[in-house]
Amino acid sequence: MRDREILLGVTGGIAGYKAAALTSALVQRGAKVTAVLTPAAEKFIGAATFAALTGRRVVTDLFDPAEPLGAHISLARRAEFLCIAPATADFMAKIAHGFADDLLSTLYLSFRGPVLLAPAMNCEMWEKPSVQRNVAQLKEDGCRFVGPESGWLSCREIGAGRMAAPEIILAAIDALCVEFPPQV
């Protein structure tokens, strides 16, 4: 994983705190991580957390003046992998249908490499036929999934929908690194 360029997309869910632990683990393994937060993600966990963990600026704005080609283009071209953790039902619906109304969804459409999604949501949401249709579409489009797990959810229920543990997501990223070796 050393020196591999990884984009970590964080969407708006309470599981964002696990994304911080995942970021720390990736950086400790030598990965170069750039965090991209949706506006909803910033309501749960701040950009300063990811900046401190990655040593890089966090990108949140589609119209970032520091990225003259557009952040969605420059970040997509630089990265080898895109991991979205947590991936909310809303975000998965957007990308399953090609919507691009924020930086992360636009970045997804611009990105040509492997995409790993770590869903996180309430168990009732996860079980909805519309969510399952979106998951099926994303799998058909080539996205890979890790989780969700079953267990205690922040809604005080026990069921499927909990984001996979950071070490499980890390193992999935490790597998991608083996499957897609660095380009020489």
Domain segments of the chain: what residues? 5-179
Domain 5-179, CATH class in plain words: alpha beta
Residues taking part in catalysis: 155
Write out pLDDT tens, residues 45-81.
999 999 999 999 999 988 888 887 888 888 999 999 9
SS3 category, 179:
helix
pLDDT tens digits along 13-26: 889 999 999 999 99
Question: 63-93 b/e with 16+ CB inside 10 Å = b?
Answer: ebeebeebbbebbbeebbbbbbbbbbbbbbb
| pLDDT tens-digit series, residues 96-146 | 999 999 999 999 999 999 999 999 999 888 999 999 999 999 999 999 999
